[in-house]
Structures are given as C-alpha cells and as structure tokens.
Structure 1
C-alpha cells in the first residue's frame, strides 16, 4: 500500500506536469489509494530525494492500463522507458492479454513517445463534466444502492458481459474496488428487474462516474425503441 508520503509526492508531480503541459492525467486515484499490499503496481524514481517520475499499473481483469509522468526537466533521458520496461515485465508475469497505454491527447511528449515504440491506437476516452439541468423522472427506472449478494452477482455478470472479464477476474475486481470507502455502488432496475449498474467515486469536491453498464438484451431493447 502506498504511504501518505508517496501519495503526496505523486499528487504534487501530477499537478506540476498538468500545469506545465496543459493536460489532465488519468491516474485512477481510487485505485492508488487502495493498492494491494502484496502486489507491485507502482514504479517511481527519486533523484537526491526529489520525486521525478511515476508510472502506475492498473489491472482490470485480463487487461492492464498504464499511465505515468516525468518531471519536465528530466524528460528525454530514458526514465519513462525504464519504468515502462519494469511494468511490462510484471504484466508478462500476470499474463495480461492486453496492455493499454493511457496518453492524454494534448500531450506532445506522450505522442512522441508512442511513435517510438511498437503500439497501435485502441480506443479514445472522453471526460464529461456535469452541467446542472432539470431531470425528468423515469417512472419505470429505479437507481438504488447495491446491498445484497444478488446485487453483487449481477454486477459481476455485467463486468463479464461488457468488459470480457473471466468470472474469477470479475470477482477479484469487484472485491478490490469495494475496499475504497469513497465509492458508492448502485443497481439500475427497470420493471423490477436488474438491468445495469453504476459506480460513483468521490474525489475531493468532485464526483466521478465509473462502470456505467447495462446488460446486452436491455441495450438492444433501447435501440429497437
């Protein structure tokens, strides 16, 4: 588990890099704050007690996501490549089927790095920001807190269906994310049947939505209508 000192150093470097590069880094703070004590997922480097580089490895079932940063004046010295090599060795040991390198679209440094290594574009993520508006209640849709074992089983099945997790991977993933006391887990029902789930993580003054999933047959129903 990362100590408060390490978390403070990571946050300070993140703010510095974001301000310097005019970007937003996705460091999955909900996972950083709840690391397994027996797993190596974080790689960092100090120079004379100065925290200069960080790379985080985040496992999602049979996939791993990687995101990191290097202090601007220490870039182009092979530091990130060294941390990435260490992380990829861990990925091989855990037999991940896919490794995703998360790179901000506005980062010139990230683009240059990705062009120099064997990889290909996989997907694009967008961050949406809530603007206040009046909501119209859907009478046949209910969002409630996930409470029962049956609710948990449904959430696991949603991860298997939507994220291609194996069952043991989905069970382990849901076990880990429930250790975070800053998250809330909700079940979505329609006509008194579980059709989806949603997770809300509170980070400071912000709340972020994750794992907004629906069973395939319900999505097909919506498309037909």
Structure 2
C-alpha cells in the first residue's frame, strides 16, 4: 500500500515556487472543467504592504506527496470585506480537502478581522456552489468578466484620437488619494476608510510600474472621473472606472474608456479585460458598444 504525505501550508505570501504550483493547478482545473477562478495572484503581490506585522495568513496550500492538490486564497484590499476563492485538483475532490483549508482559513481571519467574508465561485461550478451552500453561504451578486475582442481592439483605438482634446487623462499622484477614495465610495458603494496612516494610503495610488497605474479624468482641468489599469504578461486590466454623476449622460464615459484602451494598447497589451456587476446595465451597455464580450460570470456569496 502506498504511503501518502499530506501537508497543509499557511503563508502570508506565495514564493515563486508556490506561485508556479498554484498557476499549474489553476490550469489543470480549467482544462478539465473550463472553470474560471478569480485568485488575484498578481494583484495581491503588487499591492501587499510589507510593513504590517499583524496581518492574517492569506495563502493556504494542501500538498499530497509534494504535489499541490488544493488551494485557498484570501484577498483583502481594504474596505469592510475579504474575499476567498480556491480550487481542488479534479482527481482529488470529494475527500474534504477544500473544507479543511476553509476551516483553517476561517479560524485565521476570525482571529484577526471582523470583516464580512465573501466566497467567489464560477457560475458554472456545480461542486463549488454545493460547497458554499454547505457552509451556509448566501448569494448576493454576480460579476461579469469581459474581454475586448481583437477586432474591436484595432478599430476602437483609432476612434479615440479625435476626442483627446475633450477629455484628458493624467497620472494620479498622492494628492489625488482622497479624491480616489471618494469616487470609489460613490461608484461602488464602499464606505470611506478610516485612514490611520495617511502615507500608506497616498503611496497606494502612486504608479507601481505597469502593475497598477491610476489616472484622473479631466474636463478643462476639472476632475470628472478616474480609472486604474494594470498590465501583466501583456494582458491589460481596467479597474475602478467611473465618471462622477453630475457629468454623466454626456458621452464622457465613452471617451475616458476609449482613451484608456489607447493607453493599454500603447503599453503593449494584447488582451484587455474588465469586470462589472451584472446589475449595472448602463456600464454593460457601454462596454458592449465598445467591443467587450462576456467571457465568464463570477457569483459572490456572503458567509454567515
């Protein structure tokens, strides 16, 4: 009879070997079932603050005979909620692996935080939904992941150049931190954070290479909106995009979006993605009209 070595590792961050193993496991799960996962590995790496000593452990890995077969990650980018997501190798399911990881992670986040916990699951993942139901998860919302088609990437970029004089995008600076916080609260319903360390908040909006860049949208030098982008392995991502309510209905959102696509193209992005809540019909209509197509649906469940 074979002897098995089961190991569970808990870490604040993934090293290069762990990162490679998690990505390999993610690829296996996708190949087997075409299940999308929102692990935020690159975003966590770029935004994690190294100077906090009391952070909760964020990465939970289950190894069998030195092979990674289970993973659960906790994402906490500020605000009043944390997100959990993960996976188990298709050949090792129905063995309680993910439940073990979940219980360990739950003990850790309860020890360090009272934030609301949201579990993320691909809309088509039967096993994932079954597990979330088994731990008392309640559905709260869905989010579409959309990708700009190749044809639109070439066509729409050209259309933005005629509008450069109307709207200008400039790099955000530390002086824009409060405005970005305010706009995020307006667009996404998140409460303004109680800022204990102003320097940390300001630094989070300074350009970090191509991993995370913030822009302010200006109309005649008046700030009317914002957008964040990142480029990782030639894949571009758009985050936190919005225009202030008083400036909506005038076509400015489309101009800002097209200008953002222009920047991503110039920086070498071959594919461009964004995410949008399924209930935000106006935003979805704008994105579709600019050539974005839905590629997956992610469901959010609150863990009670």
Q: TM-score range by the shorter chain?
A: 0.7 to 0.9
The alpha-carbon distance between structure 1 residues 215 and 169, as it changes in their structure 2 partners (threshold 3 A), is: farther
Which consecutive unaligned segments of at least 5 residues does structure 1 have? none
Does the aligned pair in 1 maintain the 2:175–2:202 contact within 8 Å? Answer: no
The alpha-carbon distance between structure 1 residues 96 and 170, as it changes in their structure 2 partners (threshold 3 A), is: farther
The alpha-carbon distance between structure 1 residues 141 and 176, as it changes in their structure 2 partners (threshold 3 A), is: closer
Aligned counterpart for 1:199 among listed residues 211, 217, 228 = 228
Does the aligned pair in 2 maintain the 1:184–1:200 contact within 8 Å? Answer: yes
Which consecutive unaligned segments of at least 5 residues does structure 2 have? 1-12, 252-281, 283-304
Matched residues in 2 for 1:150 and 1:111: separation?
A: 43
The alpha-carbon distance between structure 1 residues 178 and 42, as it changes in their structure 2 partners (threshold 3 A), is: farther
1:25-174 aligned at under 5 Å gives the runs 25-34=37-46, 35-37=48-50, 38=53, 39=55, 40-60=57-77, 61-131=79-149, 132=152, 133-134=155-156, 135-136=159-160, 137-138=162-163, 139-146=165-172, 148-161=173-186, 162=188, 163-168=190-195
Matched residues in 2 for 1:170 and 1:85: separation?
A: 32
**Offset, 1:175:** 4.5
Aligned counterpart for 2:32 among listed residues 15, 20, 27 = 20
Alignment length (residue pairs): 222
The alpha-carbon distance between structure 1 residues 99 and 217, as it changes in their structure 2 partners (threshold 3 A), is: farther
Matched residues in 1 for 2:95 and 2:196: separation?
A: 37
Per-residue CA deviation, residues 104-162 of structure 1 (Å, 9 max, x unaligned), is: 0111211221222212111111011113233244443222221x332222112223443
Matched residues in 1 for 2:226 and 2:218: separation?
A: 9
Matched residues in 1 for 2:201 and 2:140: separation?
A: 22
Per-residue CA deviation, residues 149-208 of structure 1 (Å, 9 max, x unaligned), is: 322221122234432242328965774576853222111122322122111121212111
Does the aligned pair in 2 maintain the 1:44–1:54 contact within 8 Å? Answer: yes
**Offset, 1:56:** 0.7
Greater relative contact order (Cα 8 A, min sep 6): structure 1 or 2?
A: 2
Does the aligned pair in 2 maintain the 1:31–1:177 contact within 8 Å? Answer: no
Matched residues in 2 for 1:219 and 1:191: separation?
A: 16
Q: Which has the higher strand share?
A: 2
Does the aligned pair in 1 maintain the 2:71–2:88 contact within 8 Å? Answer: yes
Matched residues in 2 for 1:166 and 1:208: separation?
A: 24
CA RMSD of aligned residues (A): 2.7
The two structures have a TM-score, normalised by structure 2, of: 0.65
